[in-house]
């Protein structure tokens, strides 16, 4: 890292429950450092808000923002940017957005550079998409990564926010192979159809209508379609190694974007771009915002293109909003399948669904920004990669030496994570899939009208196709891809788990599985496993023990 750090912090510095370790990255407004959690009683530079150290992870990334120094005008601007990021991270907890554990304020009068600085304690990433592209242009996992990026945008937009600065540097790669969107200091909450952001942008990813837009007292007006444009540029870069508009510099490409928007130039995409992705990029890079594809429609098309399997174009394979109350047993009638009201809605997008085929053999290297413990400005560290494969995803929760197909590991683990109930673990989801279908995605049992890896009945699956709980316009027809049916199974498990009565005989996880096979009412009425389902319960219990890592048993 040859660039000077915006906020130099010495190794070993304590803030809150954290001790600063090696530098990770820096930008114009702040610097990021790795950190490990230490006893709070030994910290001497802290004023913390948020969660206590008991609920914090062992390691994290600390983003230092120098809000205690500078001119009054600089401080006003920096605080505005920080407030945007903190507000979004506090309010949104989504699978594809970087997580903030707490925010701190440095109280260190002896160090004028750090005194008063804001520190965001964030989820630790292994690298960025920018670093990956710098060492491996056109990465083989590009389509799968793009699908997760698009999922993150969909989560933001559904929550009523615009990112405002989507680019490779703001896409982080985690140790488990998943993707997180980060750096939300340009993000803004929608007020109707628009939001207002500061007058800053990255030219290569800024839509042409914003290049000449007026800047009012509240900043620049922006729509979600600006993120869609940025995604189109990002997709072209990831898949071809080039920008979609000509020019050897950002300024030249900015001028080309203006000429394109005014109709004096045509869009000329790389011939190396696959047909499906070419259509997606063109749908993102329209001359005007009104012609751009909507985010939900974009997510469906990106998911289908990323998976690249037969039949994916006709349905969205990345599930939309997950409502835990929303999945009911296949035995319920149409009337009783209506979703109960009153519980908050959560959003789920399975990262694995975006690229099951590609991720089955994935082993990409993400260059660490810096992890050798040297001080800022010490120069780049040679080598340094983190290789993560789909076959090892979620190893701490789902054993890797058993027969769970690598192609489904990410989908299984993230489906369980989204439920956030102790009973619904990756091992349980895998055990049920084993008992139901032996992981056969093409299972067909016409006699019971059940199909696919999770044995769905078409008329019942219809109810879980739409995020608002209303039935789909038509009954879905098999085959049902795992990326569609496994998250639906997760929604059902999450819905029935709290409906099992207390005091039932047997393991709660196994009882939840039995309720999936029959109904929670029959389990409650029997006071445990109904005799008819004893063998099923034994199989699930066996596989649950088999798939659970030893340290978790």
| Ordered DSSP codes for 36-47 | EE--GGG--S--
400-421 pLDDT, tens digit each: 899 998 878 878 988 898 788 8
Q: Please, what is the average pLDDT of the chain?
A: 75
477-499 pLDDT, tens digit each: 887 778 778 888 888 898 889 99
* Per-domain residue ranges of the chain: 14-124, 128-314, 324-343+385-552
CA distance 207 to 254: 9
CA distance 43 to 185: 28
Pick the CATH number of 128-314 from 1.10.645.10, 3.30.930.10, 1.20.1730.10, 1.10.510.10: 1.10.510.10
Helix (H) or strand (E) holding 450: strand 450-451
Cα distances (Å, whole numbers) of residue 134 to 138, 309, 365, 366, 413: 10, 29, 11, 10, 30
Q: What is the dihedral of CA 42, 48, 54, 59, to 10 degrees?
A: -80
CB atoms within 10 A of CB 111: 14
327-372 pLDDT, tens digit each: 222 322 222 333 332 222 333 333 333 333 222 222 222 222 333 3
CA distance 23 to 380: 11
CB atoms within 10 A of CB 347: 22
Cα distances (Å, whole numbers) of residue 506 to 493, 524, 538: 17, 12, 11
CA distance 173 to 61: 13
Pick the CATH number of 14-124 from 3.30.200.20, 1.20.1630.10, 3.30.830.10, 3.30.450.40: 3.30.200.20
Cα distances (Å, whole numbers) of residue 487 to 70, 255, 324, 386, 456: 49, 44, 11, 28, 12
What phi, psi does 165 have (nearest 5°)? -155, 50
CA distance 119 to 46: 10
pLDDT tens track of the chain, all 553 residues?
Answer: 344 677 789 999 999 999 999 998 876 667 889 999 986 544 444 444 433 334 678 899 998 877 544 444 444 545 555 565 556 656 656 667 888 788 888 888 888 778 888 888 888 888 899 989 988 889 999 999 999 999 999 988 888 888 888 999 989 998 877 898 988 777 777 777 777 676 566 889 999 888 765 565 666 788 899 999 999 999 999 999 999 998 888 888 888 888 998 888 888 899 999 999 999 999 999 999 889 999 999 999 999 999 873 333 333 333 333 222 222 223 222 223 333 322 223 333 333 333 332 222 222 222 223 333 333 333 333 222 233 345 677 888 999 899 998 878 878 988 898 788 899 999 999 999 999 999 998 899 999 999 999 998 888 777 765 444 445 567 778 877 787 788 888 888 988 899 999 999 999 999 999 999 999 999 999 999 999 999 999 999 999 999 999 876 5
Would you tell me the crossing angle of helices 482-496 and 406-419 to the nearest 10 degrees? Answer: 30
* Model pTM score: 0.54
Cβ atoms 485, 461 nearer than 8 A: yes
Q: Does domain 324-343+385-552 have CATH number 1.10.530.10?
A: yes
207-253 pLDDT, tens digit each: 988 876 556 566 678 889 999 999 999 999 999 999 999 888 888 88
CA distance 397 to 551: 9
Report angle CA 424, 390, 382 to the nearest 5 degrees. 125
Secondary structure of residue 301 in the 3-state scheme: helix
Which residue, 403, 414, 408, is CA-closest to 151?
414
Report angle CA 442, 421, 498 to the nearest 5 degrees. 95
CA distance 57 to 46: 18
CA distance 80 to 92: 18
Determine the pLDDT at residue 369: 35
CA distance 381 to 14: 25
Which residue, 258, 320, 270, is CA-closest to 295?
320
């Amino acid at each position: 890292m040859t660039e000077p750090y915006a906020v130099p912090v010495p190794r070993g510095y304590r803030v809150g429950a954290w001790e600063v370790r090696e530098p990770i990255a820096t930008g114009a407004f702040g610097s990021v450092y790795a950190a490990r959690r230490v006893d709070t009683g030994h910290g001497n530079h802290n004023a913390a808000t948020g969660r206590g150290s008991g609920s914090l992870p062992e390691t994290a990334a600390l983003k230092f923002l120098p809000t205690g120094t500078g001119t009054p005008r600089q401080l006003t601007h920096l605080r505005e940017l920080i407030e945007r990021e903190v507000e979004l991270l506090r309010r949104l907890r989504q699978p594809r957005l970087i997580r903030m554990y707490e925010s701190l304020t440095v109280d260190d009068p002896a160090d004028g550079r750090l005194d008063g600085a804001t520190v965001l304690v964030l989820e630790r990433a292994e690298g960025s998409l920018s670093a990956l592209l710098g060492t491996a242009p056109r990465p083989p996992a590009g389509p799968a990564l793009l699908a997760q990026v698009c999922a993150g945008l969909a989560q933001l937009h559904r929550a009523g926010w615009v990112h405002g600065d989507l680019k490779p540097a703001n896409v982080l790669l985690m140790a488990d192979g998943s993707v997180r969107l980060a750096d939300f200091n340009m993000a803004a909450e929608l007020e109707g159809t628009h939001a207002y952001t500061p007058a800053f942008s990255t030219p290569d990813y800024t839509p042409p209508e914003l290049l000449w837009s007026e800047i009012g007292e509240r900043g620049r007006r922006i729509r979600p379609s600006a993120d869609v444009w940025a995604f189109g540029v990002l997709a072209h870069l990831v898949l071809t190694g080039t920008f979609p508009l000509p020019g050897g510099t950002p300024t030249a490409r900015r001028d080309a974007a203006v000429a394109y928007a005014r109709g004096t130039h045509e869009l000329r995409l790389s011939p190396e771009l696959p047909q499906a992705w070419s259509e997606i990029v063109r749908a993102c890079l329209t001359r005007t915002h009104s012609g751009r594809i909507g985010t939900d429609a974009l997510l469906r098309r990106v998911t289908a293109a990323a998976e690249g399997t037969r039949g994916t174009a006709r349905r969205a394979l990345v599930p939309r909003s997950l409502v835990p109350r929303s999945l009911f047993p296949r035995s319920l009638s149409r009337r009783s399948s209506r979703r109960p009201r009153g519980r908050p809605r959560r959003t789920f997008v399975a990262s694995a669904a975006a690229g099951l085929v590609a991720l089955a053999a994935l082993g990409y290297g993400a260059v660490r920004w810096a992890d050798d413990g040297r001080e800022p400005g010490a120069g780049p560290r040679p080598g340094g990669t983190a290789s993560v494969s789909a076959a090892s995803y979620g190893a701490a929760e789902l054993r890797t030496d058993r027969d769970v197909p690598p192609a489904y590991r990410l989908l299984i683990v993230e489906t369980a994570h989204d439920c956030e109930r102790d009973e619904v673990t990756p091992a349980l989801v895998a055990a049920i899939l084993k008992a139901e279908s032996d992981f056969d995605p093409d299972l067909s049992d016409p006699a019971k009208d059940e199909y696919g890896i999770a044995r769905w009945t078409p008329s019942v699956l219809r109810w879980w196709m739409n995020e608002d709980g209303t039935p789909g316009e038509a009954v879905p027809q098999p085959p049902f891809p795992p990326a569609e049916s496994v998250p639906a199974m997760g929604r059902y498990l999450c819905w029935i788990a709290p409906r099992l009565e207390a005091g039932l005989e047997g393991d709660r996880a196994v009882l939840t599985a039995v309720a999936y096979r029959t109904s929670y009412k029959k389990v409650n009425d029997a006071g445990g496993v109904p005799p008819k389902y004893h063998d099923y319960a034994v199989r699930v219990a066996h596989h649950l023990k088999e798939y659970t890592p030893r340290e978790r048993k």
